């Protein structure tokens, strides 16, 4: 076996390299491998399957297909388990564990003998975690996505997680769908393997993985249950073997220009606000910054082209049938950096040249000259309430609320929100601004997707669909509304959000990209003097590591010691 290839890489240290290799081969042979197999380059397959992750339930079949591709190309496939993050099965929120999974992926890629790796993930936090880990390990890597779920036909309409989950829950809260009805809907929202069926965080991150050049061309949108998904898995395995022989490293693919391409795609697909945080974290592993002012410039010059829920009509499987992410990239070509290298070994421009003239369904992917919206879906806001930035998904918001001043109705925590939001005595009116404090990265809740504050029941029953809501939390990529998120610095570290009181005036101007707390500075200084941090760092374990090292949203909520300096 050639030195430093395959199983000879990274030997366990017994103080005698020859003994280490002999012992490793001996133990590998206990798994029935032949000498021929043990002489091959090794492709690791990072498997994030878990019984707590419905989105990944088809991974055994997918991984068989990856192995087929690796074997056919002359490699030895060896899968290994990593942390899995099933979005709705984790408490307090999957976000708290994204960095744990990223550390796991990074360290297991580095510690185990492999020449390249196929990262198999899909549910919201798994793809960013895998890309963060792979970027830090910097071993050749191919991202293989889970693929989206199929929507379900139900009572004459199509349902798909999770925009429809929220729509029906809002109807239930407003008294328009009874308990029997909501129970029936519950069984029809998520009916196949795969990730949420709309342009939520998982679909957005899949699209970003392809736009960055880390996933194979055309692979992001293939439905989880489509045979093409298995062919993409086989091709990913095959390509990983080629990368083992002729490495292209994540550091060559994840560059300032490819990150900017990914931001363009994020804006053009009307993607999730969460993707800003995740892409910032991935870029941070490559020593790159995602600048929120630059995001605004890109947003103003990138039209929305894709008509998918939660902002549009279609599902992710429709995007695949319409031409996939390639169709979006081809429309965006004049705005993209075409010289970016991808894991295929081709540049983005070379890839798009091959796809010239491919079929596009214009009902789903609009031409650049006739977009759905002339400007991108996301903007960053700055101002006295968010000196380091906040995010608004303007494509999912009500433009009538964009230039507005309102009275703050403050909830000091998620528990306070849950206790009082539906209280008939709550002093709240449609024109008020709902403010949630202490739901950011260091709040003890670990920045959950709680920014989609429920409309108070008495207003919802009266027919109110949207109002301005402000917090340091995130929101699900499948949610919608005039919702200002990721306010930084967060309340739990004493940011201005912590100082807001009931009745304060807040001014939102999307046109000026501002969110301001209209309270005299002297008054704020007085409030700051008596402010106390709401939570102490946990005494032990991962929760303590998290609390001591997690960064704010503008740094991707990565750990300070994991970013590339």
Q: Comparing C-alpha atoms, which of 367, 451, 384, 128 is closest to residue 259?
A: 128
**Least distance to ligand FES from the beta carbon of 504, Å?**
35
Closest to ligand FES by CB, 76 or 196:
196
Distance (Å, whole) CA 455 – CA 462? 11
- Give the footprint of ligand FES on this chain (CB under 6 A): 55, 87-88, 123-124, 161-162, 195-196, 200, 202
**Least distance to ligand FES from the beta carbon of 123, Å?**
3
**Least distance to ligand FES from the beta carbon of 476, Å?**
8
**Least distance to ligand FES from the beta carbon of 448, Å?**
14
Q: Comparing C-alpha atoms, which of 561, 345, 448 is closest to residue 90?
A: 448
Distance (Å, whole) CA 242 – CA 236? 10
Closest to ligand FES by CB, 124 or 490:
124
Closest to ligand FES by CB, 89 or 154:
89
Residues with Cβ within 8 Å of 283's Cβ and at least 6 positions away in sequence, in order, are 254, 259, 289, 290, 556
DSSP state of 443: S
Structure tokens given for 466:
């949207």
Residue 92 sits at φ, ψ, to 5 deg, of -75, -25
Closest to ligand FES by CB, 58 or 366:
58
DSSP SS3 for 243: helix
Q: Comparing C-alpha atoms, which of 142, 112, 79, 82 is closest to residue 6?
A: 112
Closest to ligand FES by CB, 147 or 250:
147
**Least distance to ligand FES from the beta carbon of 335, Å?**
28
**Least distance to ligand FES from the beta carbon of 88, Å?**
6
Closest to ligand FES by CB, 88 or 335:
88
Closest to ligand FES by CB, 204 or 438:
204
Instruction: Count Cβ atoms below 10 Å from residue 419 Cβ, excluding itself.
Output: 11
Distance (Å, whole) CA 517 – CA 243? 52
Within its chain, how far is the Cα of 43 from the centroid?
A: 25
Work out the burial of residue 310: count CB atoms within 10 Å of its CB; fewer than 13 is exposed, 13-18 middle, 19 or more buried.
buried
**Least distance to ligand FES from the beta carbon of 192, Å?**
12
């Amino acid at each position: 076996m050639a030195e430093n290839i395959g199983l000879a890489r990274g030997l366990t240290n017994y103080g005698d390299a020859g003994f280490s290799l002999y012992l490793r081969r001996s133990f590998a042979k206990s798994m029935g491998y032949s000498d021929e197999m043990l002489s091959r380059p090794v492709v690791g397959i990072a498997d994030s399957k878990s019984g707590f992750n419905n989105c990944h339930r088809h991974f055994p079949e997918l991984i068989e297909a990856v192995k087929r591709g690796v074997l056919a190309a002359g490699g030895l496939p060896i899968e290994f388990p990593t942390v899995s993050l099933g979005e709705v099965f984790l408490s307090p929120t999957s976000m708290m564990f994204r960095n744990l999974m990223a550390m796991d992926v990074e360290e297991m890629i580095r510690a185990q003998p492999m020449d390249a790796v196929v990262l198999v993930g899909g549910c919201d936090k798994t793809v960013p975690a895998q890309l963060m880990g792979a970027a830090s390990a910097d071993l050749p890597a191919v991202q293989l996505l889970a693929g989206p779920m199929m929507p379900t036909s139900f009572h004459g309409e199509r349902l798909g997680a999770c925009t429809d989950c929220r729509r029906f829950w809002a109807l239930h809260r407003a008294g328009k769908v009874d308990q029997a009805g909501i129970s029936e809907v519950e069984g029809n929202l998520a009916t196949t393997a795969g990730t949420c069926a709309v342009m939520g965080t998982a679909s957005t991150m899949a699209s970003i993985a392809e736009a960055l050049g880390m996933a194979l061309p055309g692979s992001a949108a293939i439905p989880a249950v489509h045979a093409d998904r298995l062919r993409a898995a086989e091709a990913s395995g095959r390509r990983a073997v080629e990368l083992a022989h002729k490495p292209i490293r994540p550091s060559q693919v994840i560059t300032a220009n490819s990150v900017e391409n990914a931001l363009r795609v994020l804006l053009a697909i009307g993607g999730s606000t969460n993707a800003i945080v995740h892409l910032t974290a991935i870029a941070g592993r490559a020593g790159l910054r995602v600048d929120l002012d630059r995001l605004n410039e890109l947003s103003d010059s990138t039209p929305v082209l894709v008509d998918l829920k939660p902002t549009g009509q279609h599902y992710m499987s429709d995007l695949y049938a319409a031409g996939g992410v390639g169709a979006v990239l081809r429309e965006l070509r004049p705005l993209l950096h075409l010289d970016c290298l991808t894991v295929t070994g081709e540049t983005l421009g070379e890839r798009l040249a091959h796809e010239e003239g491919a079929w596009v369904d214009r009902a789903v992917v609009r031409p650049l000259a006739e977009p759905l919206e002339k400007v991108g879906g996301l903007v960053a806001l700055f101002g006295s309430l968010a000196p380091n930035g906040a995010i608004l998904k303007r494509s999912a918001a009500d433009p009538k609320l964009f230039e507005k001043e309102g009275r703050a109705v403050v909830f000091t925590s998620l528990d306070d929100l849950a206790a009082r939001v539906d209280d008939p005595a709550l002093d709240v009116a449609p024109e008020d601004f709902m403010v949630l404090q202490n739901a950011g990265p260091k709040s003890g809740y670990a920045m959950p997707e709680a920014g989609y504050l429920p409309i108070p029941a008495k207003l919802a029953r009266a027919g109110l669909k949207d109002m301005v809501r402000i917090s340091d939390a995130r929101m699900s990529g499948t949610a919608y509304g005039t919702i200002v998120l990721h306010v930084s610095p967060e309340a739990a570290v004493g940011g201005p959000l912590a100082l807001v009181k009931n009745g304060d005036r807040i001014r939102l101007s999307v046109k000026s990209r501002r969110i301001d707390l209209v309270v005299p500075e002297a008054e704020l200084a007085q409030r700051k003097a008596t402010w106390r941090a709401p939570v102490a760092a946990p005494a032990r374990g991962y929760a303590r590591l998290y609390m001591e090292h997690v960064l704010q949203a503008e740094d991707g909520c990565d750990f300070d010691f994991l970013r590339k300096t």
